[in-house]
Every structure is written in C-alpha cells, then in structure tokens.
Amino acid sequence: QSVLTQPPSVSAAPGQKVTISCSGSSSNIGNNYVSWYQQLPGTAPKLLIYENNKRPSGIPDRFSGSKSGTSATLGITGLQTGDEADYYCGTWDSSLSVGVFGGGTKLTVL
Amino acid sequence: QVQLQESGPGLVKPSGTLSLTCAVSGGSISSSNWWSWVRQPPGKGLEWIGEIYHSGSTNYNPSLKSRVTISVDKSKNQFSLKLSSVTAADTAVYYCARDYKLVQEGYYYYYMDVWGKGTTVTVSS
C-alpha cells in the first residue's frame, strides 16, 4: 500500500491530452514539493517534473505538473506512442521522515 | 555529469545478507546531496529504502529499518546498501539515486535527479 495514491492506468489516443492524479496528505504533498518520474519499459526511472511544476533540461513542455492542497497532477499533451510508460509521483513525508512514491500509473497510448 | 553504477551479487540465499554498492562518477559524494536506494519488485512499483549524507547521517524506511544499513565510503566515492535476513519478498531491481533535498520554512524540496541503471537481485536457494 503506497503512501501516495495514483490511478493504476490511464489511456488516450495519440495527439490527445491525459492527466494523472496523485493524492496524499498534509504530511507529504500538502506541505512539500512534488516530483514526477517516467519509467519506460525495462529502464530506470527518469526525473520528469520537480518542485511541483519545473521541468529538467531536455524535458519537453508537453509535460506539466501542478499541485493543489494534498493532490498533484501530471499533464501530458500531444501524446506520442513513445510516452507509453509508468509514471510515479514522489515527495518527502515530514511525519515519517522518508521519501514516498505513488503506486505508479501505466499510460497506454492507443 | 554525475553517473551512478550499482554492483553486487545477483543471487542471494534466503536468510542471507544482500550487499550492493553504488559508485559515483563525474562528481563528488561529498557534495550537498543525499544518496538513496530504491527498489522495485517484479511487476510492482517503486519502494524507497533509505538515504545517506556524506557525513554519515541516514534515514531509513520504517518497514525495513531493522534490516537495513546504508554506509558511505568517501575515499572510494561510493555508498553501499546491506539488507539482512532476506526472503523472496526482497527480490527486486535495486536502484541507487542522487537526492536533492532542501528544507525552507518547514517545506521540503525533494526529488531524485540522477539514477543508476539498476541491478537485479534474486533471493533464492
């Protein structure tokens, strides 16, 4: 059981937009910054979004992040087949003093 | 740019100790970063194991704390993971990662910006 809650799967057609939600509590998302990771099949996770809505160098602006209260959202526009991956949210839990992840969301581009 | 490389036995016997090392290249382990271990059981999500600062300060996942030790070797620019009393449930891909962690006004800025490729550890007799 993950501390952060994500939908197991989402899907959309190429070119469309999709959002992935991540729900937590006041001890994690509510009072700390959220990051998102993309894990392509058979590879290590890769930082996609940090500090709620910032993109590392090289990440296209098709990827965006937002946070409201104890929930965060990853948005992907102009979906491509290469975006098919597992996506994880993450943050620090101040009460547990640990890093925490969501259970992951599998994106299928139909 | 910083790169991380995990190494260690791919097979560990039940009740034994899993030992992995993460070599840091392209940067210093004594920088202002924490260094983490994360694992991923087959077909499952990511699990945070713990982290260490170059001073030796550590934080561990409470669910693994009694079995985990993370240490740092500044002379070799590497850090290590030991997990004792392993069972089949500890079979996973183990990743090392570089953390960015900053606390300002009680808010944590926290993310993992560099990851190793991962190493598969199977617990089996």
**DSSP conformational letter for A16:** -
Calculate mean pLDDT across residues A1-27. 96
Query: Is A101:B115 a contact under the CB 8 Å cutoff?
Result: no
What are the chain A neighbours of B36 within 8 Å (beta carbons)? 99
Instruction: Give the pLDDT confidence of A40-88 residue by residue, as tens digits.
Output: 999 999 999 999 999 999 999 999 999 999 999 999 999 999 999 999 9
Q: What is the pLDDT of residue B106?
A: 87
Give me the domains of chain A, ranges plus CATH numbers.
9-109 (2.60.40.10)
Residue ranges of A 5-64 with Cβ closer than 8 A to chain B? 31-33, 35, 37, 43-47, 50-51, 56
Closest CA to A7 of A17, A28, A21, A26: A21
Q: Is the pLDDT at B69 greater than 90, yes or no?
A: yes
A1: confidence class by pLDDT, cuts 50, 70, 90: confident
CA distance B97 to B112: 6
Q: What is the pLDDT of residue B11?
A: 97
Report CB contact under 8 Å: A91, B101: no
Separation CA A72–CA A66 (nearest Å): 6
User: Which of A91, A98, A100, A105 to probe by mutation at the B interface, max B CB count within 10 Å?
Assistant: A98
Over residues A19-33, the pLDDT tens digits come to 999 999 999 999 999
> Is A88's CB within 8 Å of B61's CB?
no
Cα maximum dimension of chain A: 41
Instruction: Give the contacts of A25 (CB within 8 A, at least 6 positions apart).
Output: A3, A70
The full DSSP string for A82-102 is GG-EEEEEEEEETTTTEEEEB
Cross-strand pairs, B81: B20, B70
pLDDT of residue B32: 87
pLDDT, averaged across chain B = 96
pLDDT digits (tens, 9 = 90+) for B37-67: 999 999 999 999 999 999 999 999 999 999 9
Chain-chain contact of B110 with A90 (C-beta, under 8 angstroms): yes
